[in-house]
Amino acid sequence: MATELLQDASVTRALAYVDEHRAELVQSIIRLCEIAAPTFAEGPRAHAVAEELRRLGLQDVRVDAVNNVLGVLPGQGLGPTFLLDAHLDTVFPAGTDVRVRREDGKLKAPGVGDDTANLACGLFVLRLLREFDLRLSGTLIFSGTAGEEGLGDLCGIKAVMQQLAGQVNYVVALDGKLGRITNQGVGSHRYKISVKAQGGHSWADFGAPSAIHALGALIARISKLDVPQHPRTTFNVGIISGGTSVNTIAESAEMLLDMRSVSAEELMKVENRALGFLPEVAREYGVHIERQLVGDRPAGSKADTGWMVDTIREVHQALGIETQVSAASTNANVPLSQGIPAVVIGTYTGQGTHRLDEWIDERSVILGTKQLLLCVLALQERAKALLARS
């Protein structure tokens, strides 16, 4: 399929256009990156993307209540509908300096790669489809989604898939680096665990229940849990807080617990074992312990994605891109858990993801955009053929 596309005159012209308009693609990355988009505050970036979608001629462009932006590119009405998605948010809090520096062929800024470069490349591919009249058989729905990172808990893609229930045949999510294919979701359950105790003065009330001591005991027990390597399952206490002063027996303390697995069954096992320690510690230390679920990302896959992986591999081979297939926690988790085929691919190379010193190679997005265009076209044809046989 990829080889055939590379022989198509319109596709060839579109690929050449990417080279010729490289500067515009780079400027799009810079412009979007410099619109801060912390999780739960993606509004300004969402509206900037909406403006671009309208300029490109997409239909039914809208920004929803959770700051997702959506637009529709109608096809010929002969094929499947698919969702092309890139998340809007970054991990960096409000006030972070997101100005982009260009040095030695690199773009340097927090969030410049994850997921700004992928977002910009997705928009550029929409431009190519319109500019060169590369009409798809079916409808393309583009979404820039909120709340992918951290405690956003995939709220954006969850809302989008609910809005589009029954309409989408497959999903391509843009995230991560060039060469990546993710077709299995790493699920996660995240809990805020709060401990309340009597507390008191460290000398006068020595021996009174301490929230921090109890929390420490709980963490110690969780840390000794045995989890399988296959299917890979993990746990981590990422944040702890509490107490008043060095000479105060703590009245309150809390922690954030993250548990992950590629298996929904194993995820529930580790969760049940970890949470099972709460009543034990509460009784032993004379404290009150509460839990609050703050993150729920579905694990595994209920969909056949083999045809998507094979198609993308063909594109990678045609372009000389090394393919790496892996599981991850991404927006694809949601459609995969619903039985909808979904994959994640990336469009750039670089380093420093989720760090202030993040950078990307600005040349890489040229190849990444070409890859994405070919993947969009090839996947549409493969999906059309599969739909016709079903």
pLDDT above 80 for 351: yes
Return the sign of the alpha-carbon dihedral for residues 164, 129, 330, 94: negative
Tell me, what's the pLDDT at 300?
A: 85
- Helix 118-131 to helix 22-33 angle (10° resolution) is 140
For 192, 213, 219, 221, 287, the CA distances from 347, given in Å and listed in that order, are: 35, 47, 39, 42, 50
Q: State the DSSP H helix or E strand holding residue 59, giving kind and residue range, or none if neither.
A: strand 59-63
Rounded distance, CA 333 to CA 260, Å?
13
Are 68 and 152 spatial neighbours (Cβ–Cβ below 8 Å)?
no
Distances from the Cα of 390 to the Cα of 80, 385, 386, angstroms: 12, 9, 6
Rounded-to-integer distance, Cα 45 and Cα 102, Å? 21
Of 222, 362, 204, 342, the C-alpha closest to 291 is 222
Q: What is the DSSP string of 93-158?
A: PTT-----EEETTEEESTTIIIIIIHHHHHHHHHHHHHHTT---SS-EEEEEES--SGGGTTHHHH
Tell me what pLDDT residue 1 has: 79
Average pLDDT over residues 321-337: 97
Task: Give dist(CA 197, CA 262) in Å, integer.
Answer: 36
d(CA 342, CA 173): 7
Segment 176-190, tens digit of pLDDT? 999 999 999 999 999
Look up residue 321 and give its two tokens: 């891109």
From the list 31, 150, 37, the residue with the least C-alpha distance to 93 is: 37
DSSP run (H or E) holding 261: strand 252-261
- Confidence at residue 359, expressed as pLDDT on a 0 to 100 scale: 99
Residue bearing the bigger pLDDT, 363 or 78: 363
What would the pLDDT profile of 191-204 be if each residue is shown by its tens digit?
A: 999 999 999 999 99
In this predicted structure, the answer to whether residue 390 has a pLDDT above a threshold of 80 is no
pLDDT tens string 77-114: 889 999 999 999 999 999 999 999 999 999 999 999 99
Would you tell me which CATH number, out of the four given (3.40.570.10, 3.20.20.70, 3.30.70.360, 1.10.10.10), belongs to the domain 187-297?
A: 3.30.70.360
Q: Which amino acid is at 118?
A: N
- Whether the pLDDT of residue 305 is over 80: the answer is yes
Q: Please, where in the chain does CATH 3.40.630.10 lie?
A: 2-185+300-389
Q: 2-185+300-389 adopts what CATH topology?
A: Aminopeptidase (3.40.630)
Categorize the per-residue pLDDT at 388 as very low, low, confident or very high, splitting at 50, 70 and 90: confident
pLDDT of residue 77: 84
Please answer whether residues 153 and 147 qualify as being in contact, where contact means their C-beta atoms are separated by less than 8 angstroms: yes
The continuous run of DSSP H or E covering 297 comes out as strand 288-297
Report the share of the chain in percent with pLDDT over 90. 96
Residues of the chain with CATH 3.30.70.360: 187-297
Mean pLDDT of the chain: 97
Greatest mean pLDDT range, 4-8, 78-82, 251-255:
251-255
Q: Tokens 């843009």 correspond to what residue?
A: 174
